[in-house]
Structure formats: structure tokens, C-alpha cells
């Protein structure tokens, strides 16, 4: 078991398996993309599996495959199948924009995927294209419907609302759960990278807007995920709605996660660039015990909390979100 310097058990790893993406969401990636890592800098799947095996030996049980867009990388379903086979791995979930998901669903089911988080910020085709700069709503929606229908794992829909862009869509997005067994979750926009340029809609405000349409919200104590979402039931919706209010309700005291970037850097907190490079020692032939010790030593430095909304001079993360897995 890995415990950090503040007594938190670390058992969840978010893996960014690529920094590339087929979309350019306004709050995440610049229009012309970001300079991608050269091919050799990106971890090969064997290297990723080796690091995941070491992590699971240290007590990491849950893995989230993310990016960039994980489904633009060839071989992702096979990688997920291999990851699921590692001893000690209890859960592997995927975060995707859904553009390429539909045809891969059978393979992902076969691989044993334990959960799908589909990111979707608008139900208006034009607005979806405007906000993602190049995506199409139809394939994402078709994938959402098919994933719910196949029903091999829970499906969550992640939405980031921004004032003046899609802030009016909370009821329409939550309303998907009138007919689909989907957990709709509203993620507060975080002031990271391009996210600093837009105005978030605080979770409490989203909840008020939902209550105005669906009726009173009832807190739901069910444990629907590994993360910090707080869930409420609304009349007429098949599943509770989740709120992830990283900024207005800090949940750092229960943070159980670390992150691995596509080029093999272990990161400890979204807001800080503190961490260490695991890929170089791995490629230089370090033993698994040496890498494990490096991970333990790094985890011991995990910051106590993020400081969004405060001035942070040192170690502030300057990456865009696609590089650190969301």
C-alpha cells in the first residue's frame, strides 16, 4: 500500500497514453494543437504495462486510461485487455470524447473494460462543433446510446459548462438520463491552461438550474465511482447526477490519485509540475525495485492541496490538460 505524506492512500492512476487528440476543445487545446512529443518519447505499450505492473505491486488497483484522446492511439483496446490481466489490477476505465468509440465497443467489452466516461459538452450539433472546433455530435451520441445498450459497464457522461457558451444546457444534458441509464456529471471548469480563459458555472448553480426543471435534488450516498463526484437524484432521471466541484469545493484531503503522462512522467497533482521521470530510468535498465522506490519517494512529496484561485509562484503546472489526462 502507498501512503503519501498526508496519510492518503494512493490506489488510483490516471494514464495519459497519448497527448494527441482528434478534437481541439476550446478550454483544453489550442486551435493548431500542441507540439506533440516525438514518437520515441512516447511510452510504448510494453513500457506502460511494465510501469503499471510496478504500480499495482505498490497497491494501485484502479487505472483510468485517458489522453489526449486514448482512442486515436492504435492498439488501445488490446492494451486495456493486457492491463486487465495484470495481477492486482481491479478496475480499468476509459475516458474518451466518443468520436471513435462506437466501432470499438465490442473489442472494449471483450477486453473487460470496467467503465466508460464519455466527454460531451453540448447536444446542439453546431455548438458541439464550435466548442470542439472539429468534432461531430452524431458519432459521440451514437456511441453513448450503444454503450448504454450493450450495458457491459457503467457509462458516465462528463460535461464542462461555461457561461456564455453552453451554460444553458445543464437540463438538456442531465435530461439524457430520462431515457438512458447514464450518470451525467458536471465538472467545474478548472483554471488550468486554456481553462483560465473561460468562465465556469459553479456546481451549486448547475444544481439550482436542474432543480428548476426536474424538481428537488435528493443527496445520493451510493458510491458510483472512484473520484470526488457528489451525487444527487432528481425526479424522473434514471441515474443520479454527479457534481465534481474541484474549485468551489476542494476535495484534496481525500485525493487518492496520481498521474502518468504519455512520456512517462509521474505527476502528483493537477496543479503542480512536481513529479519525476520514470521512463528514462526504465529505458536505462533500472530494476523494478529501483523504479518502485522512485515512485514511493515521489508519492511522499504529493502536495497537500491545490490552490486554484490563489497565487502560486512555485511549481505551477503550465501544461495543457491534454498532456496530463484531464
Positions in the binding site for ligand SAM (CB under 6 A) = 21, 27-28, 66-67, 69, 95-97, 119, 158, 160, 187, 189-190, 192, 195, 321-322, 326
Q: How do beta strands 230-233 and 241-244 pair?
A: antiparallel
The residue (of 256 and 322) whose beta carbon lies closer to ligand SF4 is: 322
Q: How far apart are CA 17 and CA 70, in angstroms?
A: 6
The residue (of 10 and 71) whose beta carbon lies closer to ligand SAM is: 71
Q: How far apart are CA 26 and CA 29, in angstroms?
A: 6
Taking the complex as a whole, the smallest distance from the CB of residue 145 to ligand SAM amounts, in Å, to 17
The residue (of 97 and 298) whose beta carbon lies closer to ligand SAM is: 97
Taking the complex as a whole, the smallest distance from the CB of residue 90 to ligand SAM amounts, in Å, to 21
Q: How far apart are CA 266 and CA 263, in angstroms?
A: 9
CB 301 within 8 A of CB 58: no
Taking the complex as a whole, the smallest distance from the CB of residue 49 to ligand SAM amounts, in Å, to 20
Contacts of 240 (CB under 8 A, 6+ apart): 183, 220, 222, 224, 231, 232, 233, 234
The residues binding ligand SF4 (CB under 6 A) are: 21, 23-25, 28-29, 67-69, 97, 119, 321-322
Query: Which partner from the list ligand SF4, ligand SAM, none does 189 bind, CB cut-off 5 to 8 Å by kind?
Result: ligand SAM
Q: How do beta strands 241-244 and 183-187 pair?
A: parallel
Q: How far apart are CA 288 and CA 54, in angstroms?
A: 7
The residue (of 226 and 296) whose beta carbon lies closer to ligand SAM is: 226
Query: Which partner from the list ligand SAM, ligand SF4, none does 29 bind, CB cut-off 5 to 8 Å by kind?
Result: ligand SF4
Amino acid at each position: 500500500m502507498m501512503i503519501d505524506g498526508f496519510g492518503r492512500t494512493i490506489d488510483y492512476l490516471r494514464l495519459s497514453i497519448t497527448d494527441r487528440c482528434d478534437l481541439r476543445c476550446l478550454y483544453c487545446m489550442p486551435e493548431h494543437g500542441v507540439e506533440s512529443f516525438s514518437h520515441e518519447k512516447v511510452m510504448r505499450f510494453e513500457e506502460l504495462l511494465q510501469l503499471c505492473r510496478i504500480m499495482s505491486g505498490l497497491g494501485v488497483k484502479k487505472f483510468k486510461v485517458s489522453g489526449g484522446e486514448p482512442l486515436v492511439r492504435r492498439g488501445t483496446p488490446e492494451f486495456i485487455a493486457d492491463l486487465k490481466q495484470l495481477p492486482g489490477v481491479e478496475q480499468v476505465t476509459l475516458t474518451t470524447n466518443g468520436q471513435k468509440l462506437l466501432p470499438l465497443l465490442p473489442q472494449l467489452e471483450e477486453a473487460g473494460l470496467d467503465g466508460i466516461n464519455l466527454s460531451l459538452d453540448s447536444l446542439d450539433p453546431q455548438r458541439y462543433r464550435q466548442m470542439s472546433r472539429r468534432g461531430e455530435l452524431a458519432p459521440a451520441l451514437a456511441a453513448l446510446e450503444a454503450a448504454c445498450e450493450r450495458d457491459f459497464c457503467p457509462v458516465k457522461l462528463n460535461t464542462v459548462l461555461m457561461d456564455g457558451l453552453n451554460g444553458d444546457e445543464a437540463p438538456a444534458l442531465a435530461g439524457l438520463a430520462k431515457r438512458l441509464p447514464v450518470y451525467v456529471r458536471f465538472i467545474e471548469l478548472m483554471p488550468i491552461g486554456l481553462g483560465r480563459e473561460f468562465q465556469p458555472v459553479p456546481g451549486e448553480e448547475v444544481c439550482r438550474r436542474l432543480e428548476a426543471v426536474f424538481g428537488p435534488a435528493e443527496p445520493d450516498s451510493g458510491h458510483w465511482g472512484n473520484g470526488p463526484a457528489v451525487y444527487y437524484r432528481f425526479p424522473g432521471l434514471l441515474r443520479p447526477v454527479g457534481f465534481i466541484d474541484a474549485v468551489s469545493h476542494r476535495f484534496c484531503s481525500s485525493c487518492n490519485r496520481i498521474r502518468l503522462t504519455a512520456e512517462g512522467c509521474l505527476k502528483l497533482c493537477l496543479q503542480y509540475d512536481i513529479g519525476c521521470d520514470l521512463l528514462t530510468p526504465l529505458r536505462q535498465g533500472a530494476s523494478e525495485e529501483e523504479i518502485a522506490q522512485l515512485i514511493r519517494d515521489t508519492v511522499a512529496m504529493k502536495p497537500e492541496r491545490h490552490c486554484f484561485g490563489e497565487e502560486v509562484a512555485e511549481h505551477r503546472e503550465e501544461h495543457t490538460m491534454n498532456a496530463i489526462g484531464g
